[in-house]
Amino acid sequence: MSEAERQAQARRERAARTLRENLQRRKQQGRARRAGDADEAVGLPAVGSDVPVDELTGPGDAKAEE
């Protein structure tokens, strides 16, 4: 097997692993929604309560005008 073939195989394996992880995450989100539980946060943390609402909404946002 040539180096190019090994690299292509490694890319396919990484892509397959990423797709499997994404599928598992999406399935878990679906189960949580059906059960009424909150989704588990993966990635960036949610905005804390210390940020004023004015900074969270942009101009023309319906929530900002209420």
Model confidence pLDDT, tens digit, residues 13-44? 999 999 999 999 999 998 888 887 666 666 66
Determine the structural domain holding residue 15 and report its residue range. 1-38
What percent helix, strand, coil does the chain show, rounded to 5?
60, 0, 40
Whether 55 is in a domain gets the answer: no
Whether 45 is in a domain gets the answer: no
Whether 57 is in a domain gets the answer: no
Are 57 and 64 within 8 A, CB to CB? yes
Average pLDDT, the chain: 78
How many domains does the chain fold into?
1
Whether 18 is in a domain gets the answer: yes
Whether 20 is in a domain gets the answer: yes
Contacts of 29 by beta carbon, 8 Å cutoff, 6+ apart:
39
User: Tokens in use for 20?
Assistant: 């499997």
pTM of the complete model: 0.48
Whether 15 is in a domain gets the answer: yes
Whether 53 is in a domain gets the answer: no
Q: How far apart are CA 23 and CA 42, in angstroms?
A: 14
